[in-house]
Structure 1
């Protein structure tokens, strides 16, 4: 008879869930314990410290300033590519038309960078930039190989600048895959 009881007890123990959490402390007592340990005060102090660090961070600028900072090197890339393409076909690069092209391109680059840089960490923007990088790179190769020299001079600087921007903004793996 004793063996039967033991086997019955063993079966009952096996049927009990082992990860059962027993929570028999009343809510008021839980709140009193948390307040007495000072966890809320530590959490508030940590949040205030983080806000202070964010306010004092010299690299925590708004998206407008970040877009401006990206626009300067992208305009330099556009300018360099424009000069290189014109010199490739032995065309003279005069200052006035060259400056006019760069001045026309700068606001377009700034607006594009502003809107894409706001959401650059979102997956759907990363996907669009990945696809845009593949399309820009493929079209750039096609333009260089198949278009007339005038078409190359008109399309290559802007396409290559857009391609460089996409590559810079992508995460590492998509950036390498899109090359």
Structure 2
């Protein structure tokens, strides 16, 4: 026979039930081994802090993220589709094209205002729409994986474009008539701005220094 008395009413049954649950919980707690984690062991893969530090270092150097820095703990590609980068060359080209097209439209309108000409949107918009596909092809060709594999050549193209475009634009503004300025300044200025944006900071400053030196040597005015 059991040594515990039989509950005679509802209150005693509840008390007995709570006692049984407490003893079972204590028994389960005693089964769990209590020990401190091993803080001295090194993780088998890179931690999130290490990955973040490496990517910050690449950002400071102005380099894109290599695929080797992808977290090894991330799920592998299921094979249902290609591995996606943060932003594809096509998306970059579309974004740059839209932004530079708006810049070209703005420069075209400002040049007309500078010479006190009526802003003819019926002529400005077709010119802008004509240059948009040309910008897209040029931008996309320099953002493909093949172009990114030769960063020095890519940087040289941007440097040459910035120097030639900057010098030519300042020459046109100083030496040509207002009609030539209205037609040539917007597209050349757009290419100049884009080239400077695409370059690393040091190269961009160097290109501006070359343009400034040429302007000083030729005795031209920048404004």
- Shorter-chain TM-score tier: 0.5 to 0.7
- 1:124 paired residue number: 153
- 1:115 paired residue number: 141
Q: Aligned with 1:162: secondary structure? A: helix
By how many angstroms is 1:47 displaced? 3.7
- 2:191 paired residue number: 162
Deviations 1:27-85 (A, max 9, x none): xxxxxxxxxxxx9x869x95462867xx687xx12211110011111011101110011
Flag the structure with higher helix content.
1
What is the root-mean-square deviation in Å for CA atoms of aligned residues? 2.6
Change (3 A) 1:42 1:89: closer
TM-score (norm 2): 0.55
| Shift >6 Å, 4+ stretches | none
By how many angstroms is 1:131 displaced? 1.4
Taking the aligned partners of 2:98 and 2:192, their CA distance within structure 1 comes to: 16
Structure-to-structure mapping, 1:29-68, within 5 angstroms: 47=72, 49=74, 60-68=86-94
- Give 1:98's match in structure 2, choosing from 120, 124, 142: 124
Q: Looking at both structures, which has the greater relative contact order when contacts are Cα pairs under 8 Å and sequence separation is at least 6?
A: 1
Give aligned pairs, total. Answer: 135
Q: Aligned with 2:74: secondary structure? A: helix
Change (3 A) 1:160 1:51: farther
- Give 1:134's match in structure 2, choosing from 163, 173, 180: 163
CA radius of gyration, larger in:
2
- 1:171 paired residue number: 200
- 1:85 paired residue number: 111
Deviations 1:102-157 (A, max 9, x none): 11111111111111122256110101111111111111110000011111011000
Q: Aligned with 1:49: secondary structure? A: coil
Taking the aligned partners of 1:51 and 1:98, their CA distance within structure 2 comes to: 50
